[in-house]
Amino acid sequence: MISRLILQTCVWFGVMGALLFLSAGTLHWPGAWVFLVVMIGLSLIMGVALARRDPGLMNERLSPPIQKNQTAADKVLLSVLLLGMFAWQVLMGLDFRFGWSPVPVWGQVVGALVLLLGIWICYLTMLENSFAAPVVKIQAERGQRVITTGPYSLVRHPMYGGAILFFAGTALLLGSWWGLVSVLVFVVLLAIRTFIEEATLRTGLQGYDDYAAHVRYRLIPRVW
């Protein structure tokens, strides 16, 4: 499992790095190097810790993004989300190359902090929920149950909230206001995904209706 984690981390961020630097037309992009080094380091450290604590969840997290028992709607949306992420990387690389919307250094520092906050929220979510698979499905073989504690006591989809902070922080760290504006696309896609996921959970997971009635907010406490 650890070897799979290392391989997938290197491939995933290798592709990201290629998209960023090729579209930027240069390797002299400090923000991109900071992003890649931080993300590779944290992915490996947190991944190893998670593999030791919860190997079942780590195995799910390392599974392909498109799976046989995944809902059809989620297959489509996740495909769009992944393609959107790749296009987003290219946009920010072009932004850096042509200087369309540079972010000052203080903004990049804020971005790094927001990115770390988003990652921490996602990690806390995985520590709390052993069934936080990357695809929408019911994990009956693992005895999936409703999680109501930790961040799930505040919102029903805390990992999506962390992901939004991750996207926003990444755009600022990479120095692209256009990248930050584009995060709105991911917000919309993740909001749509909450409906897809909840339709599956309400149908296939006993007790989810009661949980949703108790925790009213999907992504942002006291907002939505």
The per-residue pLDDT for range 50-108, each reduced to its tens digit, is 999 999 999 989 888 888 888 889 999 999 999 999 999 999 999 999 999 999 999 99
Average pLDDT score over the chain: 94
CB 185 within 8 A of CB 84: yes
Own/partner pairs for 105-112, CB < 8 Å, 24+ apart? 107/172, 107/175, 108/31, 108/172, 108/173, 108/174, 108/175, 110/169, 110/172, 111/168, 111/169, 111/170, 111/171, 111/172, 111/173, 111/174, 112/34, 112/38, 112/169, 112/172, 112/173
Residue matched to tokens 């939004």: 164
Interval 39-65: pLDDT, tens: 999 999 999 999 999 999 999 898 888
CA dihedral 5, 9, 15, 18 (to 10 degrees): -150
Q: Which CATH class is domain 2-214?
A: mainly alpha
Report residue 62 as tokens.
């390392």
Q: Which pTM was predicted?
A: 0.94
Amino acid identity of residue 73, one-letter, is A
Interval 113-167: pLDDT, tens: 999 999 999 999 999 999 998 999 998 888 999 999 999 999 999 999 999 999 9
CB 170 within 8 A of CB 107: no
What's the confidence (pLDDT) of residue 67?
Answer: 85
Residue that wins the pLDDT comparison between 163 and 1: 163
